[in-house]
Structure 1
Amino acid sequence: MATWRRLWRAPLIALWVLLGMLLTALLQLLPGRWREPPRQAITRWWMRCLLRLLPLHIRYHGQPAAGTALWVGNHVSWVDIILLGARAPVRFLAKAEVRQWPLLGWLADRAGTVFIHRGQAASLNQRLGDVLQRGHNLMIFAEGTTTAGDRVRTFHGRLFGCAIEQHLPIQPVALAYRNHGQRDTIAPFIDDDEFSRHLWRLLGAARIDVDVHFLPLIDSHTLGRNELARSARQAVIQALGLEEDSSNCQSVDSLRAAA
Structure 2
Amino acid sequence: MSVWLPVSPCTPAGCATRTGPARHPLAAAALLLTGCAAVLTGVLGAPLALLLGPAARAGLVRTWAYAVIRAFGVRVRITGPPPRRLPGPGTLVVANHVSWLDIPLVAAVAPGRMLAKSDIRHWPLLGPLAAFGGTLFVERDRLRALPAAVRTVTGALGRGDRVIVFPEGSTWCGRGSGGRFRPAPFQAAIDARAAVLPLRIRYLTPGPAGGGPVPAGAAAFVGDDPLTASLWRVARAAGLTAEIHVLAPIPAGSVPGRRALAARAQSTVASDSANRPAASVHH
The two structures have a TM-score, normalised by structure 2, of 0.76
Would you say 1:212 and 2:244 are equivalent positions? yes
**Which is helix-richer, 1 or 2?**
1
Q: What are the residue-to-residue correspondences of 1:63-212 with 2, within 5 Å?
A: 63-67=82-86, 68-117=90-139, 118=142, 119-150=144-175, 151-180=177-206, 181-212=213-244
Q: Helix, strand or coil: the match of 1:97? A: helix
What amino acid maps onto 1:96 in structure 2? Answer: S
Contact 1:65 1:217 (C-alpha < 8 Å) held by counterparts: no
Contact 1:176 1:210 (C-alpha < 8 Å) held by counterparts: yes
Would you say 1:12 and 2:72 are equivalent positions? no
Would you say 1:224 and 2:283 are equivalent positions? no
- How far residue 75 of structure 1 moved from its aligned partner, in angstroms, is 0.4
- How far residue 233 of structure 1 moved from its aligned partner, in angstroms, is 0.5
Deviations 1:73-125 (A, max 9, x none): 21001111101112233111111112233444345334432110244212111
Q: 2:268 aligns with which of 229, 235, 243?
A: 235
User: 1:240, 1:190 → 2: CA distance?
Assistant: 23
Q: Helix, strand or coil: the match of 2:230? A: helix
Contact 2:35 2:69 (C-alpha < 8 Å) held by counterparts: no
Would you say 1:58 and 2:76 are equivalent positions? yes
Contact 1:70 1:168 (C-alpha < 8 Å) held by counterparts: yes
User: 2:48, 2:251 → 1: CA distance?
Assistant: 40
What amino acid maps onto 2:28 in structure 1? Answer: R
What amino acid maps onto 1:6 in structure 2? Answer: A
User: 1:15, 1:59 → 2: CA distance?
Assistant: 23
Seen in structure 2, the aligned counterparts of structure 1 residues 2 and 135 have a Cα distance that, compared at 3 Å, is farther
- How far residue 152 of structure 1 moved from its aligned partner, in angstroms, is 2.0
Greater relative CO, 1 or 2 (CA 8 Å, sep 6+): 2
- How far residue 7 of structure 1 moved from its aligned partner, in angstroms, is 3.1
- Aligned-pair identity in percent equals 31
- How far residue 2 of structure 1 moved from its aligned partner, in angstroms, is 3.0
Contact 1:73 1:140 (C-alpha < 8 Å) held by counterparts: yes
Number of aligned positions between the proteins: 237
Seen in structure 2, the aligned counterparts of structure 1 residues 210 and 22 have a Cα distance that, compared at 3 Å, is closer
- How far residue 218 of structure 1 moved from its aligned partner, in angstroms, is 1.3
- How far residue 199 of structure 1 moved from its aligned partner, in angstroms, is 0.8
What amino acid maps onto 2:263 in structure 1? Answer: R
Seen in structure 2, the aligned counterparts of structure 1 residues 106 and 201 have a Cα distance that, compared at 3 Å, is farther
Seen in structure 2, the aligned counterparts of structure 1 residues 157 and 26 have a Cα distance that, compared at 3 Å, is closer
Q: What are the residue-to-residue correspondences of 1:27-42 with 2, within 5 Å?
A: 39-42=57-60
Q: Helix, strand or coil: the match of 2:219? A: coil
User: 1:182, 1:131 → 2: CA distance?
Assistant: 38
User: 2:173, 2:246 → 1: CA distance?
Assistant: 20
What residue ranges of structure 1 are gaps of 5+ in the alignment?
242-259
**Which range is displaced more, 120-129 or 108-117?**
108-117
Seen in structure 2, the aligned counterparts of structure 1 residues 230 and 25 have a Cα distance that, compared at 3 Å, is closer
Contact 1:2 1:206 (C-alpha < 8 Å) held by counterparts: no
Q: Helix, strand or coil: the match of 2:33? A: helix
**Which range is displaced more, 87-96 or 100-109?**
100-109
- How far residue 21 of structure 1 moved from its aligned partner, in angstroms, is 2.8
**Which range is displaced more, 102-111 or 222-231?**
102-111
User: 1:103, 1:197 → 2: CA distance?
Assistant: 18
User: 2:40, 2:184 → 1: CA distance?
Assistant: 38
What residue ranges of structure 2 are gaps of 5+ in the alignment?
1-22, 207-212, 276-283
Seen in structure 2, the aligned counterparts of structure 1 residues 201 and 102 have a Cα distance that, compared at 3 Å, is farther
User: 1:170, 1:21 → 2: CA distance?
Assistant: 29
